[in-house]
């Protein structure tokens, strides 16, 4: 990374900035007609530009076919280990499925908070994310990331696998469901009052007009999710035989003899 330079960046970006496809989204307290007129005089006055290429070969990204376990040792002044546990998921091209995986993410995240943080004191902020790509078809995963003391890394890694597998084997309880559902609904409702959310909806509306329908059905679909649906997803995605693990440990410091 340190060998890269601005000349390389310029060579990489200039063709795109000069000729590549453009899509512009404006949100907020604005005069619509004035905004259209301003766009017509600026963006709209540019010469015709190239269409966005499909690049199908570059979109063939796949999660490793078999689960892996890897340990990395790095030089670090921070005496902490990082745990990363991955369960292969799905892409983000099906909004209904993605919303349900997001709620499953919230349930697993809550389980880690209760067990790893509150009961064991093993970390301050365990995090679970559903990363569902809207660029690479078929690519996505759930990931748990936790910073821990190195001696407890294996124990907590095993605990996370156990908690996910418990959801897979026993399903989602009504209490777990409500603990995830209510904050998620509140978060989604609050986001609709922000410019950031609407930029995210509109910024690809020409390329992916279905995103507009995703926004229209978002709250009603979240409210319609059931425990049975989430239990089925947990059974499919969270069994222990699907998880991959990466552990990052700080290198041991040499002992200094006085």
Condensed to tens digits (0 to 9), the pLDDT of residues 213-245 reads 999 999 999 999 999 999 999 999 999 999 999
**219-222 long-range contacts, Cβ below 8 Å, gap at least 24?**
219/185, 219/188, 219/189, 219/192, 221/95, 221/96, 221/99, 222/99, 222/103, 222/181, 222/184, 222/185, 222/188
Per-residue pLDDT reduced to its tens digit, 97-152: 999 999 999 999 999 998 887 777 756 678 999 999 999 999 999 999 999 999 99
Residue 256 has pLDDT above 80, yes or no: no
Separation between Cα atoms, residue 124 and residue 102, nearest integer Å: 22
pLDDT at site 208: 87
Sign of CA dihedral 34, 39, 44, 45: positive
Q: Which position has the token pair 């790893």?
A: 116
Per-residue pLDDT reduced to its tens digit, 140-189: 999 999 999 999 999 999 999 999 999 999 999 999 999 999 998 999 99
Residue 258 has pLDDT above 70, yes or no: no
pLDDT at site 254: 65
Listed in sequence order, the residues at least 6 apart from 9 whose beta carbon sits closer than 8 Å to its beta carbon are none
pLDDT at site 196: 93
Going by the DSSP 8-state scheme, the letter that residue 255 receives in this structure is P
On whether the CB atoms of residues 95 and 125 are closer than 8 A, the answer is no
On whether the CB atoms of residues 71 and 242 are closer than 8 A, the answer is no
Q: What percent of the chain has pLDDT over 70?
A: 97
Max intra-chain CA distance, the chain? 77
Separation between Cα atoms, residue 181 and residue 175, nearest integer Å: 10
Separation between Cα atoms, residue 134 and residue 51, nearest integer Å: 19
Q: What is the mean pLDDT of residues 197-226?
A: 92
pLDDT at site 140: 97
pLDDT at site 124: 62
E strands of the chain, at which residues? 69-74, 81-88, 127-132, 140-148, 244-250
pLDDT at site 255: 62
Separation between Cα atoms, residue 19 and residue 7, nearest integer Å: 19
Residue 71 has pLDDT above 80, yes or no: yes
Per DSSP, the three-state class of 81 is strand
On whether the CB atoms of residues 233 and 90 are closer than 8 A, the answer is no
Residue 31 has pLDDT above 80, yes or no: yes
Domains of the chain, earliest start first: 20-57 (no CATH), 58-250 (3.30.830.10)
pTM of the predicted structure, to 2 decimals: 0.87
pLDDT at site 117: 76
Separation between Cα atoms, residue 20 and residue 107, nearest integer Å: 41
Separation between Cα atoms, residue 228 and residue 149, nearest integer Å: 37
pLDDT at site 120: 72
Burial 196-234 (b: 16+ CB within 10 A, else e): ebbeebbeeeeeeeebeebbeebeeebeebebebbbebb
β-strand pairing of 140-148 with 81-88: antiparallel
């Amino acid at each position: 990374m340190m060998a890269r330079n601005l000349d390389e960046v310029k060579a990489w970006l200039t063709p795109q900035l000069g000729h590549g496809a453009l899509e512009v989204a404006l949100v907020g307290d604005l005069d619509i007609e004035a905004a259209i007129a301003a766009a017509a005089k600026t963006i709209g006055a540019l010469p015709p530009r190239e269409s966005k290429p499909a690049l199908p070969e570059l979109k063939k990204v796949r999660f490793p076919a078999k689960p892996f376990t890897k340990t990395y040792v790095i030089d670090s002044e921070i005496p902490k280990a990082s745990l990363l546990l991955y369960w292969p998921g799905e892409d983000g091209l099906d909004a209904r499925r993605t919303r349900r995986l997001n709620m499953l993410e919230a349930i697993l995240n809550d389980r880690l908070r209760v067990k790893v943080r509150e009961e064991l004191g093993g970390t301050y902020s365990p995090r679970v994310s559903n990363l569902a790509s809207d660029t690479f078809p078929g690519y996505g995963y759930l990931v748990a990331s936790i910073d821990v003391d190195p001696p407890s890394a294996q124990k907590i890694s095993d605990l996370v696998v156990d908690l996910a597998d418990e959801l897979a084997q026993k399903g989602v309880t009504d209490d777990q469901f409500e603990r995830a559902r209510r904050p998620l609904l509140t978060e989604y409702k609050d986001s609709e009052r922000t410019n950031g959310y609407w930029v995210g909806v509109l910024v690809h509306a020409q390329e992916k007009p279905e995103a507009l329908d995703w926004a229209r059905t978002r709250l009603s679909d979240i409210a319609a999710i059931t425990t049975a649906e989430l239990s089925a997803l947990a059974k499919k995605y969270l069994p222990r035989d699907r998880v991959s693990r990466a552990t990052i440990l700080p290198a041991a410091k040499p002992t200094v003899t006085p």
